[in-house]
Chain A
Amino acid sequence: MNIRWYHFALWAAFMAVMFALPEFVSRGTLRTVIFANFLAIFAISWDVLSGRTGYISFGHPFLIGIGAYTTAILTKRFDVAIEASIPIAVIVTMIAGFIVFLPALRIKGSYFALVTLAFMELMYQLVQVIRPDLTGGTRGISGIQGITRGAVNGYYLSLTLLLVVAVTVWLVMRTRVGTALSAIGMNEESVRGSGLDTTKLKLFAFLFSALIAGLGGAFYAHYVGAIAPRALFDINFLFTIIVAALIGGAATTAGPIIGAFFLTFLLEYLRPYLPGAERYFIYGGVALLLYMYQPKGIIALLETMKDRIIRRSST
C-alpha cells in the first residue's frame, strides 16, 4: 500500500477531533469514549494475530486478563510502582502467552480457536482457586491505584495509548512482514513454498498481539480500578473484541478502531431500551447484517463511498 496525502490528512483530522473532544462532550460520553479506546486497542491486538494470519483466537481475554491481574497484584499486594508493574505485566503476558499458545500455533483452523478458548476458561477457574489471597478469588481486586484523576485525564491517557499502538501497528504492517502475515491468512502452504518459516511469522504475530493485549489490559486495570474474573474472562467481552475487528474491517489498522467505536456507541445507545444481555442479540444481528452486506467491514464501505465521491467530483 502506498502512502497517500489523504492518509495523513485522515489521521491528522482524527487526532484533532479526538484531542478537542473533551471540550464538546459530556463527562458521561467521555467515559464511553474511553471504553471505546480500550476496546479499539484490544481489537487491534486481536487483529494483529487473527485478522492477518486467519488463526482465530478465542483467548484474547486470557492475555488481557494476565496483563490486568499482574499489574493489579504487583501494585496492590506488593507495592510495586506502576512504572515498573506495567512493563512487567506486558512481559508476563508475552511469556504466559508464549508458553500456552505456542503449541496451539501448530494446530490449524477451528482447533486453534477451541484451544485458545479452553485457556480462557481455564484461567477463569484458576484465578478463583489458586492463591485467592493474591487474586481476590471470585470477587477480584478492587481499589487498584489509578494513573490519572478524572474523566478528561483518563481520556487523554487512553487516547495516547491507542494512538501509539495504532501508529506502531500501522507502520509495522505496512512493511513486508505485514504482507507475509496476510499471505499466511490466504494460503499458508504457499508461504512455506515461498521459503518463509511460517511458525516464526505466526510466533511474531502472536507475541506482538500479546504485547498489545498485555499493555492494554494493564492500563485498563489502572483505569477502572477494579477487576473481577467474571467480567474479564467473559464470552461477551471476547465477542465484543472479535466483532469490533470484523465489522470494522479485519487486517487493517483503522478497521478495528472504527469497529470498536461503532460497537461501543451502539451498545451505549441500546442501554436505556435493553438494559440486560439482550443488547448483545441486537448487536449480534447488526454485526451479522453488516457482515453479510460487506464482509470486509465498515472500512470497505467507507472506501467505496470515498471512491464514489472522488469519481463524482472528477466528472
Chain B
Amino acid sequence: MSSPLVISNLRKTFGGLVATNDVSFSVAQGESLALIGPNGAGKTTIFSQIMGELRQTAGTITLFGNEISKLSTPARIREGVSRTYQVPRPFGEMTVAENIRVGLMPDNIWHMITRSGNADRELELALSVGFSEDDLKRTPSELSMGDLRKLEMARTMATGPRVMLLDEVFAGLTVGEIAQIAALIQQMRKDGMTFLIVSHDLKALEPLVDRAIAIEQGTHIAEGPFAQVMADDAVRASYLGAA
C-alpha cells in the first residue's frame, strides 16, 4: 500500500520570503508524526499547501499514491485528508450540531436537498470530542477556547479523513481539556488514523507521536524519534533563538 502522505521538494515563497524551503517527508500508514519548529518556522504554511488553501511554488504532494497538488481543497478532502485550524473558524451563528453538520455534508447539492442529515452521527461526533448532548444547541459565542478546539476537531473528523492534520490543538486549553483531546487522539491512533500534528506544547505532544520532524525558517533541520530530535543541536538552537 502506498504511503498516506508524501511531500516532495515542497517550496513556497511569499515575495522574497522563503516560507517552505524544499521540504520533503512522508507519513506512514497509521503513523503519527510531529511537525515542530519555532514561531514563523512555516508549519501552518505546509498544512495550507497540503490542503490546497495555498498553492505551492514548486514540489508535489501525494496522498495514498495520488498526486493532489493541483486539486481544489474540497477534492483533496474527498481524497481523505482534513485539517484543524490554529485559530478556530466556527460558523458563528450556528449551533454546535449545525457546525458539525456542515462537515458531514456530501458535496452534492441534490443530495443535500433530498436526503436528510444524520443527527445520530452529529451527536456521536460531538460526544467523541467531549461535548455533552446539551452542548449541541450552543453557539460558538457561548463556547470556551477549549470547546472551540473540540468543535474544530469534530468538524474535521466529520469530513471522514484518513489523514488528519492538527494545528496547535492544545493552545489555550486547560490541563483537563488537553488530557481529553490527547485521549481522543490516542483512541483514533488505535483505530488506525494517520496524523501530522503541530504543537508548541511539546510535553503534551511527545506521547502522541511516533516520530518528529523539525523545521526552521522553512527548512527541514532534523527528523527521527521525538527525544532524539529534541536533543538535536540545531533544533535546540532554533528554539533558543526564538525564545
**What residues make up the interface of A, taking CB atoms closer than 8 Å to B?**
172, 175-177, 179-180, 182-183, 186-187, 189-197, 200-201, 204
Q: Which of B89, B98, B107, B112 contacts A190 (CB 8 A)?
A: B89
* Complex Cα spacing A204 to B110, Å: 10
Tell me if A192 and B102 are in contact (CB < 8 A): no
Min CB–CB distance B94 → chain A (angstroms): 7
Tell me if A193 and B109 are in contact (CB < 8 A): no
Tell me if B73 and A192 are in contact (CB < 8 A): yes
17 more contacts with CB within 8 A, not counting A192-B72, A192-B73, are A176-B105, A176-B112, A176-B113, A176-B116, A182-B93, A182-B94, A187-B89, A187-B92, A190-B90, A192-B53, A193-B51, A193-B83, A194-B77, A194-B105, A194-B158, A194-B159, A195-B103
Instruction: Please give, as numbers and ranges, the residues of chain A lying within 8 Å of B109 by CB-CB distance.
Output: 177, 200-201, 204
Q: With A189-B53, A195-B107 given, is the CB distance from A175 to B93 under 8 Å?
A: no
Tell me if B72 and A197 are in contact (CB < 8 A): yes
1/0 contact string of B192-228 vs chain A (CB within 8 Å): 0000000000000000000000000000000000000
Instruction: Please give, as numbers and ranges, the residues of chain B lying within 8 Å of A190 by CB-CB distance.
Output: 85, 89-91, 102, 155
Q: Which of B74, B77, B94, B113 contacts A186 (CB 8 A)?
A: B94
Instruction: Please give, as numbers and ranges, the residues of chain B lying within 8 Å of A177 by CB-CB distance.
Output: 109, 112-113
Tell me if B94 and A183 are in contact (CB < 8 A): yes
Q: Which of B74, B102, B113, B158 contacts A183 (CB 8 A)?
A: B102
- B78 part of interface (Cβ distance < 8 Å): yes
Min CB–CB distance B65 → chain A (angstroms): 20
Tell me if A197 and B51 are in contact (CB < 8 A): no
- B101 part of interface (Cβ distance < 8 Å): yes
Tell me if B53 and A194 are in contact (CB < 8 A): no
Closest Cβ neighbor of A187 among chain B residues: B89
Instruction: Please give, as numbers and ranges, the residues of chain B lying within 8 Å of A183 by CB-CB distance.
Output: 91, 94, 102
Q: With A187-B91, A190-B90 given, is the CB distance from A195 to B112 under 8 Å?
A: no
Counting chain B residues whose Cβ lies within 8 A of the other chain, the interface size class is: 20 to 34
Q: Is the interface of A mostly helix, strand, loop or mixed?
A: helix
Min CB–CB distance B95 → chain A (angstroms): 10
Instruction: Please give, as numbers and ranges, the residues of chain B lying within 8 Å of A192 by CB-CB distance.
Output: 53, 72-74
Tell me if B112 and A180 are in contact (CB < 8 A): yes
* Complex Cα spacing A22 to B72, Å: 55
Tell me if A179 and B73 are in contact (CB < 8 A): no
What are 18 A-B contacts defined by CB distance under 8 Å? Answer: A172-B113, A175-B112, A175-B113, A179-B105, A180-B102, A180-B105, A186-B92, A187-B89, A190-B91, A192-B72, A192-B74, A194-B105, A194-B158, A195-B77, A195-B78, A195-B105, A195-B107, A197-B107
Closest Cβ neighbor of B91 among chain A residues: A186
- B146 part of interface (Cβ distance < 8 Å): no
Closest Cβ neighbor of A196 among chain B residues: B107
Min CB–CB distance B91 → chain A (angstroms): 4
Closest Cβ neighbor of A174 among chain B residues: B113
* Complex Cα spacing A201 to B98, Å: 17
Instruction: Please give, as numbers and ranges, the residues of chain A lying within 8 Å of B73 by CB-CB distance.
Output: 192-193, 195
Q: Which of A179, A182, A187, A197 contacts B74 (CB 8 A)?
A: A197
1/0 contact string of B90-130 vs chain A (CB within 8 Å): 11111000100111010101001110110000000000000
Instruction: Please give, as numbers and ranges, the residues of chain B lying within 8 Å of A176 by CB-CB distance.
Output: 101, 105, 112-113, 116-117
- B82 part of interface (Cβ distance < 8 Å): yes
Instruction: Please give, as numbers and ranges, the residues of chain A lying within 8 Å of B82 by CB-CB distance.
Output: 193, 195
Instruction: Please give, as numbers and ranges, the residues of chain B lying within 8 Å of A186 by CB-CB distance.
Output: 91-94
Tell me if B98 and A193 are in contact (CB < 8 A): no
Name, among B77, B91, B102, B113, the residue most crowded by chain A CB atoms within 10 Å (CB to CB): B102
Min CB–CB distance A88 → chain B (angstroms): 25
Instruction: Please give, as numbers and ranges, the residues of chain A lying within 8 Å of B113 by CB-CB distance.
Output: 172, 175-177
Tell me if B103 and A194 are in contact (CB < 8 A): yes
Closest Cβ neighbor of A296 among chain B residues: B93
* Complex Cα spacing A200 to B73, Å: 13
Q: Which of B53, B94, B102, B114 contacts A196 (CB 8 A)?
A: B102
* Complex Cα spacing A204 to B112, Å: 12
* Complex Cα spacing A39 to B94, Å: 29
Name, among B92, B94, B113, B117, the residue most crowded by chain A CB atoms within 10 Å (CB to CB): B113
Tell me if A193 and B94 are in contact (CB < 8 A): no
Min CB–CB distance A299 → chain B (angstroms): 14
* Complex Cα spacing A293 to B98, Å: 27
Tell me if B101 and A179 are in contact (CB < 8 A): yes
* Complex Cα spacing A191 to B116, Å: 19
